[in-house]
């Protein structure tokens, strides 16, 4: 497994890190707030999860994203402000999840 956790400071990201630590599964942590996400990584995660499931509905600007008509415009806005993403985003190759999803991660082991 090649696990990447894209996260923000918060309880859900901490739970995801704990999940993989307890199972002694190595992972790479990327701070979304500090480093963001590349266009290629965002596209890969979008293909696995779906764009609507990537948006953090608690973010103040989340409703504005829904009004953008083109997918490319939505992706550009997310690249400008990666805190719009629901965290944690966990990637395992082409597989990905958004949010705390241990029921899916178990199938990766």
Per-residue pLDDT of the chain (109 residues; tens, 9 = 90+): 789 999 999 899 999 999 999 999 999 999 999 999 999 999 999 999 999 899 999 999 989 888 888 999 999 999 999 999 999 999 999 999 999 999 999 998 7
pLDDT of residue 39: 94
In terms of DSSP bridges, do strands 89-92 and 27-31 run parallel, antiparallel, or are they unpaired?
Answer: unpaired
Q: What is the token pair recorded at 71? A: 């997918």
Query: CA–CA separation, 62 vs 49, rounded Å?
Result: 17
**Architecture of the domain delimited by 3-95:** 3-Layer(aba) Sandwich (3.40)
Sign of the torsion formed by the C-alpha atoms of 66, 67, 73 and 77? negative
Sign of the torsion formed by the C-alpha atoms of 38, 52, 59 and 87? negative
pLDDT of residue 69: 84
């Amino acid at each position: 497994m090649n696990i990447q956790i894209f996260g923000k400071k918060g309880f859900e990201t901490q739970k995801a890190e704990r999940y993989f630590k307890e199972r002694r599964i190595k992972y790479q942590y990327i701070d979304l707030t500090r480093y963001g996400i590349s266009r290629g990584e965002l596209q890969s995660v979008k293909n696995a999860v779906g764009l609507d499931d990537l948006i953090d509905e608690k973010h103040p600007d989340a409703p504005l994203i829904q009004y953008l008509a083109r997918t490319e415009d939505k992706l550009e806005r997310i690249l400008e402000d990666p805190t719009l993403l629901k965290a944690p985003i966990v990637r395992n190759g082409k597989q990905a999840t958004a949010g705390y999803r241990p029921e899916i991660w178990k199938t990766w082991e």
